């Protein structure tokens, strides 16, 4: 589905690049977690794959979609969900309009049919009173609901790839759990390929088949999630996992109750060369 | 209160808030009336050719003007509530009559100027804002800045020189050809021809303002998250520019519309003078020139009412455009 | 000085600043550049511009020199506009501070008063004052000031409201400073910046209002102003349009200069956060070294 080769992204003149020489593959129907601390380049990677980088970004390398017949169209073949639920929706349009227009633009549906589909999507997203909700505006919903609405809009044109940039980071813990369940179910139902960016190791272990670990704009390690978390090959991955306490949860069978606290990026001061890493 | 529809609630709330403001304006105009030399009786008697001390005393007693300031204020307010704005010495008619006679012309002028400014300003603003930094953006923005710096009355004179004197396309003054006997459609066309230049003189400055507002608003919006999210859903081209970006940039423009209504009324004073249009603005000038303070204050009060009503309408329009307003304190 | 340099670094700041500097210089040097009374007859009437070296911009109906009128008019314009803006800012900032700091019914009352002033067009208000005192420069300054104080008041009040809860205010209270003292000595200096940026807008509006008033014949009759020159020229608009057009261009240039400078100052003052690049790599962290 997705083949990235030697991808590099740089902004402006001075300073190290945001992303350097990243290569990875993602097979159709699989789920990839792009894991890293803030500043690791994980969001840049997701945006680069979607073609949503800010103006002034210099891109090198290639992003190919061997699974698709033609170059992917954003919105139709790729659905994107962003981190900030408050910022994904146009405040002056109704949510019904915003979900429906995706189907109208990409799948040529009439407004009536698109609205009906939007209602069905909202229902699946567990928004109560979907039909009435179509006429409401984003500010009338909570953060968690808005994130689910954004997800509905991302899926309205029936894409094959779903890219999610930190989909749960801005949500409350309880709501996060619902979101994860929802994502899991949707991906399974629709046979989606999923690429999601996160700094939450527990989320990665719960939701992903494969994981790619980024640091400093470079790919440290990639592979099946079980293998990477149980037998990390790279020193960075080892240190990453080691900064968590209670390391005896089984990856792949993590119960929701045993969710570990997410890594505090400040912990990565262990990587100042003089310090030694605490033994795990 | 909560049972009523949102627009109605807004109207009632605004009306309730407007009363104290109106009261303050009334008190202010009363103070000005007091400060002016002479009083209503002097003006009246001057108009009818003078009178003796006895007459003056009698009239003062009758009009309650021989009492202290507070009773005089009460008399003033009661008169206002009866819609009695006093007597105009310059026109020798009740102020209310004179003022209401002139009001429609000013409303026509202002209405058309606002329509021009809003429509052309928004349109050109969207053209600029669709691609900030482009050639058309820079050229139009520069032109807008230059226009915004021009005084309305001077612009009017320049327009007269260009279109009336040199090109002889349009009339240079008045609101219609006097004693022409035109009626119906012909009269409307005649009035329209007379209004072209004044509307341009009054409206172009505000057009420049709305253009810049729309353009600046859009330029900022392009960086916003929800625009990126809309792009991520594949929205592009006209749909993105109009439905998503411009629609949001319209809000501050509408807000400014309300704030500028008072300023535009002030601007109509000079434009009506330049083009000899018999409206409220010109009336204000005449009343100062002829030392007719009650008439001037009548104009001031009426202007305040007009501004308040216009603001109310604009607020309603804004509430219709921005769903976040008035819904229980916002999301 | 650094601030000045930054303002001048922008295109707007440079253009506007240069024009303003020229204007100020002309206004200050008026008696030197155009000695004598600008309202006195200086030559033949209705000389066209660029005809006579002694009167480079021509003369009006009464033979008064247009260039001299322009130069002295610059003085009046800048004086009135400057004074009006200063007064408006003074009143506005004071009212805003009181409203923001004292809160409660004082705040309510003051804001209602502001609303009342905002409902009446500033121009009409000034006309009303003139009808009471007669045409005088001081009345014009007052009229413009009371028509323009509301915006600085609102902005100052908003700033005060946000600063009021800060630590240094609490500290001042603890030492026992009186409320008003805290307001004016501690909080106000920090709240001034946004109000100052309004200065340009008010000056520009003042220039236009003063010109309009002079045009209508309500300006100070003892001074020559660009507005009155335009009014003079109106009588001979068909034959000698330059008499009205030239002073108008001076007005446009002045207002433009003020606008551009104002925008440049506002932009420089505003702390625009740099567009944060999504992934900023910490340079001091290299590959991890583990024991």
Is residue C251 over pLDDT 90? yes
- Is A39 within 8 Å of C279 when comparing Cβ atoms? yes
Q: Say if B29 falls within a structural domain.
A: no
Q: Is residue B45 part of a domain?
A: no
* In a domain? residue B5: no
Least confident span in A94-103, A186-195, C62-71: C62-71
Residues of B in contact with C16 (CB under 8 A): none
Mean pLDDT along residues C71-79:
89
- Residue B326's pLDDT is 60
Structural domains present in chain C: 57-269 (1.10.3720.10)
Q: According to the model, what pLDDT value does residue B203 have?
A: 94
A139 vs B contacts (CB less than 8 Å): 323-324, 327, 330-331
Which pLDDT does position A279 carry in this prediction?
A: 37
Residues B151, C252: C-beta atoms closer than 8 Å: yes
Helix (H) or strand (E) holding B282: helix B280-289
Section B6-31 average pLDDT? 82
Write out chain C residues lying below 8 Å of A44, CB-based: 278-279
Instruction: Confirm if A92 and A137 have CB atoms less than 8 A apart.
Output: yes
pLDDT digits (tens, 9 = 90+) for C182-224: 767 766 666 677 777 788 889 999 999 999 999 998 888 888 8
Please give the residue that has the higher pLDDT: either B191 or B64.
Answer: B191
A39 contacts C281? CB cut-off 8 A? yes
Buried b (16+ CB within 10 A) or exposed e, C109-118: ebbebbbbbb
**pLDDT bucket at B44, cuts 50 / 70 / 90:** low
Task: Calculate how close chain B gets to C179, using CA atoms only, in Å.
Answer: 28
Could you give the number of structural domains in chain B? 1
Task: Give the confidence band of C146 by pLDDT, cuts at 50, 70, 90.
Answer: very high
Of B323, B330, B331, the CB nearest to A92: B323
Residue B7 lies in a domain: no
pLDDT one-digit tens code per residue, A183-220: 889 988 988 899 999 888 888 888 888 898 888 888 88
Of B157, B297, B299, the CB nearest to C237: B157
Supply the range of the domain harboring residue B236: 96-321
pLDDT at residue B46, rounded to an integer: 66
pLDDT in tens, C52-66: 777 788 888 888 888
pLDDT digits (tens, 9 = 90+) for A141-151: 988 889 999 99
ipTM: 0.84
B28: its two tokens: 């202010």
Domains along chain A with CATH numbers: 31-47+73-268 (3.40.50.300)
Please choose, from the candidates C191, B5, B238, C288, the residue with its C-alpha nearest in 3D space to the C-alpha of residue A270: C288
State the alpha helices, DSSP H only, in B131-246.
Answer: 135-148, 152-159, 184-221, 225-232, 237-238
B22 occurs within a structural domain: no
Alpha carbon of A166: minimum distance to chain B alpha carbons (Å): 14
Residue B298: which H helix or E strand, with range? helix B293-321
HSE (side-chain half, CA atoms, 13 Å) at C174:
6
Parallel, antiparallel, or unpaired: how do β-strands A193-198 and A161-165 relate? parallel
Q: Using alpha carbons only, give the angle A100, A101, A107 rounded to the nearest 5 degrees.
A: 90
Task: Write the CATH number for B273.
Answer: 1.10.3720.10
Give the rounded distance of the alpha carbon of C96 from its chain centre.
Answer: 19
Q: Is C274 on the interface with A (CB under 8 A)?
A: no
Residues in chain B with CB shorter than 8 Å from the CB of C252 are 146, 149-151, 154
In a domain, B40, yes or no: no
Residue environment code for B294-329, b if the CB has 16+ CB neighbours within 10 A, otherwise e: bbbbbbbbbbbebbbebbbebbbebbeebbbebeee
CB neighbours of A237 closer than 8 A, spacing ≥ 6?
A: A213, A220, A221, A228
pLDDT of residue C287: 35
How many Å apart are CA B74 and CA C87, to the nearest integer? 33
CB contact under 8 A, B288 and C248: no
**Chain A CB contacts of C274 below 8 Å:** none
B26 occurs within a structural domain = no
**3-state SS assignment for residue A26:** strand
Chain-chain contact of A217 with C281 (C-beta, under 8 angstroms): yes
Burial of residue C208, with CB atoms counted within 10 A of its CB: 0-12 exposed, 13-18 middle, 19 or more buried? buried
Q: What SS3 class is residue B38?
A: coil
CA distance C291 to chain A (A): 6
Establish if B330 belongs to a structural domain: no
Query: Which has more pLDDT, A13 or A114?
Result: A114
| Cβ–Cβ gap C288/A39 under 8 Å | no
Q: Which of B189-198, C50-59, C164-173 has the lowest mean pLDDT?
A: C164-173
**Contact map slice: C 251-270 vs B, CB within 8 A:** 251-253, 255-256, 259-260
């Amino acid at each position: 589905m997705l083949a990235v080769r030697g991808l590099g992204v740089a902004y402006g003149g001075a300073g190290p690049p945001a992303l350097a020489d990243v290569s990875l593959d993602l097979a159709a129907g699989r789920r990839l977690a792009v894991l890293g601390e803030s500043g690791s380049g994980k969001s840049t990677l997701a945006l680069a794959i979607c073609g949503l980088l800010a103006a002034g970004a210099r891109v090198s390398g290639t992003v190919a979609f061997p699974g698709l017949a033609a170059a992917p169209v954003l919105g139709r073949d790729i659905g994107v969900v962003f981190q900030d639920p408050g910022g994904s929706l146009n405040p002056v349009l109704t949510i019904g309009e915003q979900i429906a227009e995706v189907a109208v633009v990409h799948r040529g549906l009439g407004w009536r049919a698109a609205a009906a589909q939007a209602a069905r999507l909202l229902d699946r997203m567990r928004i109560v009173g979907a039909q009435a909700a179509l006429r409401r505006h984003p500010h009338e919903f909570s953060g968690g609901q808005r994130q689910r609405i954004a997800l509905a809009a991302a899926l309205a044109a029936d894409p094959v790839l779903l890219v999610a940039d930190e989909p749960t980071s801005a949500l409350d813990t309880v709501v996060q759990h619902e979101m994860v369940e929802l994502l899991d179910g949707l991906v399974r139902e629709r046979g989606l390929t999923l690429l999601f960016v996160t700094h939450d190791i527990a989320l990665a272990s719960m939701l992903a088949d494969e994981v790619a670990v980024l640091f400093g704009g470079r790919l440290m390690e990639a592979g099946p999630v079980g293998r990477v978390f149980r037998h990390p090959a790279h020193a960075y991955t080892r240190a990453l996992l080691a900064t968590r306490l209670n390391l005896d949860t089984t990856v792949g069978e993590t119960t929701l109750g045993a969710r570990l606290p997410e890594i505090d990026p400040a912990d990565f001061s262990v990587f100042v060369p003089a310090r030694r890493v605490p033994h795990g | 209160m909560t049972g009523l529809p949102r627009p109605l609630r807004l109207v009632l709330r605004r009306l309730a808030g407007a009363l104290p403001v109106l009261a303050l304006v009334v008190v202010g105009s009363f103070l000005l009336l007091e400060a002016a030399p002479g009083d209503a009786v002097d003006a009246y008697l001057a108009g009818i050719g003078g009178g003796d001390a006895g007459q003056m005393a009698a009239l003062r007693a009758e009009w309650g003007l021989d009492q202290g300031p507070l009773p005089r204020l009460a008399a003033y307010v009661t008169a206002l509530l009866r819609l009695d704005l006093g007597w105009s010495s310059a026109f020798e008619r009740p102020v209310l009559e004179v003022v209401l006679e002139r009001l429609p012309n000013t409303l026509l002028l202002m209405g058309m100027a606002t329509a021009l400014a809003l429509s052309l300003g928004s349109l050109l603003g969207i053209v600029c804002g669709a691609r900030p930094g482009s050639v058309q953006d820079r050229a139009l923005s520069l032109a807008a800045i230059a226009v915004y710096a021009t005084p309305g009355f001077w612009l009017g004179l320049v327009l007269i020189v260009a279109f009336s004197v040199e090109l002889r396309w349009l009339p240079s003054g008045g609101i219609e050809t006097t004693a022409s006997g035109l009626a119906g459609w012909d009269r409307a066309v005649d009035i329209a021809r007379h209004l072209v230049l004044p509307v341009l003189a009054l409206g172009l400055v505000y057009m420049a303002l709305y253009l810049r507002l729309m353009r600046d608003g859009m330029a900022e919006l392009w960086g916003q998250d929800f625009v990126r999210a809309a792009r991520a859903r594949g929205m592009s081209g006209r749909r993105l520019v109009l439905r998503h970006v411009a629609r949001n940039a319209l809000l501050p423009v509408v807000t400014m519309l309300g704030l500028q209504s008072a300023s535009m009324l002030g601007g109509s004073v000079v434009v009506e003078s330049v083009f000899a249009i018999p409206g409220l603005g010109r009336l204000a000038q005449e009343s100062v020139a002829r030392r007719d303070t009650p008439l001037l204050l009548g104009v001031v009060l009426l202007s305040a009412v007009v501004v308040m009503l216009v603001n109310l309408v604009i607020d309603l329009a804004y509430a219709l455009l921005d769903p976040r307003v008035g819904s229980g304190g916002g999301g | 000085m650094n601030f000045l340099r930054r303002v001048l670094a922008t295109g707007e700041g440079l253009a506007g600043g240069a024009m303003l500097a020229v204007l100020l210089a002309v206004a200050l040097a008026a008696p030197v550049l155009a000695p004598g009374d600008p309202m006195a007859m200086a030559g033949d009437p209705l000389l066209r511009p660029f005809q006579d070296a002694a009167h480079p911009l021509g003369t009006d109906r009464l033979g008064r020199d247009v260039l001299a009128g322009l130069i002295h008019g610059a003085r009046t314009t800048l004086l009135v506009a400057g004074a009006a803006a200063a007064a408006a800012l003074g009143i506005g900032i004071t009212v805003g501070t009181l409203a923001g700091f004292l809160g409660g019914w004082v705040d309510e009352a003051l804001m209602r008063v502001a609303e009342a002033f905002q409902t009446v067009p500033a121009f009409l208000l000034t006309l009303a004052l003139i009808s009471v005192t007669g045409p005088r420069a001081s009345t014009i300054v007052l009229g413009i000031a009371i028509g323009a104080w509301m915006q600085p008041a609102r902005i100052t009040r908003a700033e005060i409201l946000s600063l009021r809860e800060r630590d240094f205010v609490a500290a001042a209270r603890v030492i026992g400073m009186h409320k008003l003292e805290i307001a004016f000595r501690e909080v106000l200096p920090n709240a001034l910046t946004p109000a100052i940026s309004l200065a340009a807008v008010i000056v520009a509006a003042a220039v236009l209002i003063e010109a309009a008033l002079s045009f209508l014949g309500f300006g100070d009759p003892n001074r020559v102003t660009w507005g009155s020159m335009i009014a003079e020229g109106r009588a001979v608009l068909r034959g000698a349009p330059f008499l009205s057009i030239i002073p108008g261009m001076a007005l446009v240039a002045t207002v433009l200069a003020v606008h551009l400078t104002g925008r440049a100052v506002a932009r420089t003052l505003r702390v625009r956060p740099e567009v944060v690049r999504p992934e900023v790599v910490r340079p001091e962290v290299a590959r991890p070294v583990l024991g």
